[in-house]
Amino acid sequence: MKGIRKGVSGMITLTGRAVDKIRELMEGRGPDEQALRIFIRPGGCTGFTYGLALDAARDGDHVFDVKGVQVLVDPDSLELVDGSEVDYVDDFTGQGFRINNPNAVSTCGCGSSFRTATRAGQPGSCE
């Protein structure tokens, strides 16, 4: 596909638990849901919120092959999550994906909202 960037200017990693869960979620899905998209939206109590979805690559996406799983990140989001690790946890606090983002200088208690040293986003409700 024209305009897709093969993971040359950034890095995203996945833990083994995350890879296993993503593969499980992809089972039986169509070709438009065979990659993990990581994206950032303005909002949340700290300024930006994380988003994860099963998707297909789009023009301009950075595409990473991580342990056999395709990870897609748009250029604007990559600036905010470059170097991050996606994990899947299932413990007494709940289950789900968690993003360990080295760029976040402040996060909220819910763990899905953050800001960086250079970008504050648009703080709002975590709902």
Q: Looking at the 3D structure of the chain, how many domains does it have?
A: 1
Write the single-letter amino acid at 29: R
pLDDT tens-digit profile of 37-96? 999 988 777 778 889 999 999 999 999 999 999 999 999 999 889 999 999 998 887 889
CB-facing half-sphere around the CA of 14: CA atoms within 13 A: 24
pTM (2 d.p.): 0.81
**What CATH code is carried by the domain that includes residue 106?**
2.60.300.12
Q: Does residue 47 fall inside a structural domain?
A: yes
| Span 95-117, pLDDT tens digits | 899 888 888 777 776 666 665 65
